[in-house]
Amino acid sequence: SAAVGILDATKSLSGLLNGIAQKVYYNNSEITEELLRSELYPEMSPDEFTALHDKMKGLLKVIPHDTLTWFCLVLGLVELGFSPCVLIQP
């Protein structure tokens, strides 16, 4: 169903952002681009994944660390089934 597809896409994107954050902010050398592609986006070609990875990496580099932590928390809660609209209301 469409809802399952959206949930799967959200989980993959959340995993990608968390993986990139582990590499960029925490210098986790065990996280590689190939590992992220094979685990999260195995259906993507290496070139397609590199383009997505680079876009997301660029996005994370301009987000302050405390905002990134909040963003990752929100993505995690969305994965658990919470509505993003409820989560970001003031």
* pLDDT tier for residue 90 given thresholds of 50, 70 and 90: very low
pLDDT number for residue 4: 57
* Amino acid code (one letter) for 8: D
Token code pair at residue 6: 């959206």
Output 63 or 3, whichever has higher pLDDT.
63
8 A C-beta contact, residue 16 and residue 59: no
Q: Write the pLDDT tens digit of every residue in 41-83.
A: 999 999 999 999 998 888 777 766 666 666 666 666 666 655 5
The C-alpha atoms of residue 34 and residue 76 are separated, in whole angstroms, by 23
* Domain extents in the chain: 2-87
The C-alpha atoms of residue 54 and residue 58 are separated, in whole angstroms, by 6
